[in-house]
């Protein structure tokens, strides 16, 4: 069993992640003081976009940047990147071997487990050291204080919009969830927040507030829709890292213009067919509405929608927005994600494994794919979408 998932797969009912065990592992690997600036991204939605734009900004400033995001887009290699490029299979295998040896030297676990997202976070920090990275950008897996990103005393914490998600795990209200996520900050951390609801803003207290337009970037360098705010947040947060100089305008423009965000209002042709997909990792009513609006701006009509929303996502909101559209609901096979809530009787229901290149093409020429990142990643794989690079630096463009 893969070392990243072994303890999680063997967990007992009710067992939770063991942050103290993760800290012991990080200490054994000599990672608790990374030695370079660390930017952490927490929040309920848009963390990957903020992390990507922060990383691209830092790369444009001439830094070598190691980025850890969660989950992977098409594979676990996607979780750790240097200057936008995913790990090679050999690099991931080498990190796996390091973890295997270090975990074997820990005392036997008595309670709690090493979470996969945490192990990828530790591996990313390890890889940053191996490649002499100048800065590290870490996307939290789910929480803040309870997530392994909190082990690294971030210089800057960026908080994307927070809403009621993972209730009874991170908190029972948006305010409680906000406090848990903001708990990632240490005494010297600069905290920058995207616009929030009044309840969340009050819970966050005295943090720096980002307003739309604060990045100073032209709209043409920012994604459309809801991703724009999170992209600006990433840039504003990156500027707060110590010792960062503003990139040359032409370099910044070139690097930001090269960004691709697969699974975030991204367009993909189904190979060998006339079908085109709009894929977006929307998990609430606002996100679904934004994705449908983007589709309707491009198309006269939508032939079909494929959606995958576990029980803890905003299924009711999605149902309201999708009314009147032909919908197929896909269920993932993982016990940790429940799919028990009632669905509209007109919706078709399939297993996610049955969503293939051929089945997507059979739904029409204009298909919208929505839902959790695990599912949109599956669809990206089905159509062989490229996820090797999220942006290109000037150094990569330079001929050898």
* Same domain for 225 and 361: no
Read off the CATH number of the domain in which 331 is found.
3.90.190.20
Q: Are residues 157 and 225 in the same domain?
A: yes
Q: Report whether 127 contacts 91 (CB < 8 A).
A: yes
Predicted confidence (pLDDT) per residue in 237-275, tens digit? 999 999 999 999 999 999 999 999 999 999 999 999 999
pTM of the model: 0.91
One domain, residues 256 and 364: no
Q: How many domains does the chain have?
A: 2
394 falls within a domain: no
Our measurement of the distance from residue 86's CA atom to the centroid of its chain's CA atoms, rounded to an integer in Å, reads 14
Domain assignment of residue 388, yes or no = no
Q: Which percentage of the chain shows pLDDT scores above 90?
A: 83
Confidence at residue 1, expressed as pLDDT on a 0 to 100 scale:
56
Q: Are residues 53 and 93 in the same domain?
A: yes
Q: pLDDT tens-digit profile of 385-394?
A: 999 999 998 6
Q: Which of 200, 230, 260 is the last residue of a domain?
A: 260
Residue 24's CATH number: 3.40.1190.10
| Residue 183 sits in the same domain as residue 291 | no
Do 157 and 218 have their domain in common?
yes
What are the helix (H) ranges across 13-143? 19-28, 47-60, 89-104, 116-130
- Rg of the chain taking only CA atoms, in angstroms: 20
Q: Which two tokens stand for residue 366?
A: 């204009």
Q: Residue 41 pairs with which residues in a beta bridge?
A: 139, 158
Which one, of 149, 232, 166, 229, lies nearest residue 196 by Cα?
A: 229
Domain that includes residue 190, residue range: 5-260
- pLDDT for the residue 397: 45
289 within domain boundaries = yes
């Amino acid at each position: 069993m893969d070392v990243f998932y072994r303890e999680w797969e063997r967990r007992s009912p009710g067992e939770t992640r063991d942050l103290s065990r993760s800290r012991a592992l990080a200490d054994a690997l000599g990672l608790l003081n990374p030695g370079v600036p660390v930017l952490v991204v927490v929040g309920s939605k848009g963390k990957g976009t903020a992390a990507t734009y922060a990383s691209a900004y830092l790369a444009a400033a001439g830094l070598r940047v190691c980025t850890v995001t969660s989950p992977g887009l098409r594979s676990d290699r996607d979780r750790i990147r240097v200057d936008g490029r995913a790990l090679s299979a050999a690099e991931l295998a080498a990190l796996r071997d390091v973890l295997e040896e270090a975990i074997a030297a820990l005392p036997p676990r008595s309670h709690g487990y090493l979470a996969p997202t945490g192990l990828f976070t530790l591996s990313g920090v390890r890889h940053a050291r191996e490649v002499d990275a100048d800065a590290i950008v870490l996307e939290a897996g789910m929480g803040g204080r309870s997530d392994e990103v909190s082990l690294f005393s971030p210089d800057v914490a960026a908080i994307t919009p927070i809403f009621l998600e993972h209730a009874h795990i991170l908190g029972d209200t948006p305010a409680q969830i906000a406090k848990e996520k903001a708990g990632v900050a240490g005494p010297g951390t600069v905290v920058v927040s995207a616009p929030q609801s009044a309840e969340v803003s009050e819970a966050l207290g005295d943090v720096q507030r980002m307003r739309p337009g604060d990045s100073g970037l032209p709209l043409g360098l920012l994604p459309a829709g809801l991703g724009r705010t999170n992209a600006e947040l990433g840039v504003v947060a990156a500027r707060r890292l110590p010792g960062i100089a503003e990139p040359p305008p032409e370099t910044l423009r070139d690097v930001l213009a090269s960004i691709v965000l697969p699974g975030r209002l991204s367009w993909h042709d189904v190979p060998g067919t006339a079908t085109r997909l709009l894929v977006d990792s929307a998990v609430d009513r606002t996100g679904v509405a934004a994705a449908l609006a983007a589709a309707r701006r491009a198309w006269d009509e939508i032939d079909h929608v494929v959606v995958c929303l576990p029980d803890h996502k905003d299924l009711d909101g999605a149902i309201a927005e999708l009314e009147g559209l032909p919908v197929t609901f896909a269920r993932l096979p993982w016990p940790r994600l429940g799919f028990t809530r009632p669905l509209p009787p007109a919706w078709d229901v399939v297993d996610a494994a049955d969503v293939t290149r051929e089945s997507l093409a059979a739904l029409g020429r204009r298909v919208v794919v929505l839902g959790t990142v695990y599912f949109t990643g599956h669809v990206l794989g089905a159509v062989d979408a490229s996820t090797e690079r999220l942006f290109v630096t000037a150094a990569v463009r330079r001929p050898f």
